[in-house]
Amino acid sequence: MNDSGTTVYLDHAATTPMWPEAIAVMTEELGRIGNASSLHTSGRAARRTVEESREVIAECLGARPSEVVFCSGGTEANNLAIKGLFWSRRAADPARDRIVFSAIEHHALLDPVTWLATHEGARIDTTPVCREGRIVIDALREAVDRDPASVAAVTTMWANNELGTIQPIDEVVAIAQAHGIPVHSDAVQAAGYVPLDFAASGLDAMTVTAHKLGGPVGIGALVIKREIEPTPLMHGGGQERDLRSGTIGVPLIAAFATALQITVRRQAQDVERIERLRQRLVDGVRRVVPDAIVNGDPEPGPDHRLPNIAHITFPGCEGDAMLMLLDAQGIECSTGSACAAGVPQPSHVLLAMGYDDVAARGSLRFSLGHSSTEADVDALIAALPGVHARARAASLVRDAS
Contact present, 319 and 361 (Cβ < 8 Å): yes
| pTM, rounded to two decimals | 0.94
> How many folded domains does the chain comprise?
2
Q: Are residues 276 and 384 in the same domain?
A: yes
Q: Known catalytic residue: 71?
A: no
Domain boundary among 217, 233, 261: 261
Confidence grade of residue 346 (pLDDT, cut at 50, 70, 90):
confident
The reply to whether 238 and 304 lie within a common domain is no
Q: Which of 99-108, 342-351, 368-377 shows the lowest mean pLDDT across its residues?
A: 342-351
pLDDT of amino acid 335: 87
CB atoms within 10 A of CB 397: 9
Phi, psi angle pair for 2, to nearest 5°: -85, -175
Q: Model confidence at 245, in pLDDT bands (50, 70, 90)?
A: very high
pLDDT attached to residue 339: 45
Which percentage of the chain shows pLDDT scores above 70?
95
Is the pLDDT score of 189 beyond 50?
Answer: yes
Q: Report pLDDT for 288.
A: 97
Same-domain status, 128 and 195: yes
- CB distance 239 to 230 below 8 Å: no
Q: Which of 226, 261, 296 is the last residue of a domain?
A: 261
Domain that holds residue 318: 8-17+267-400
- SS3 string, 351-379, reads HHCCCCHHHHHCEEEEECCCCCCHHHHHH
Question: Has residue 1 been placed in a domain?
Answer: no
Q: Would you call 204 helix, strand, or coil by DSSP?
A: coil
CATH number of the domain where residue 114 is located: 3.40.640.10
60, 130, 333, 339: the catalytic one is 339
Tell which residue, 172, 174, 228, 176, has the closest CA to residue 187.
Answer: 172
Report the C-alpha gap between 374 and 389 in whole angstroms.
Answer: 24
The reply to whether 174 falls in a domain is yes
**Which among 261, 291, 314 is the end of a domain?**
261
Amino acid 341: pLDDT: 38
In which band, very low, low, confident or very high, does the pLDDT at 400 lie, cut at 50, 70 and 90? low
Q: What is the pLDDT of residue 343?
A: 52
Q: Cα(372)–Cα(16) distance, rounded to whole angstroms?
A: 10
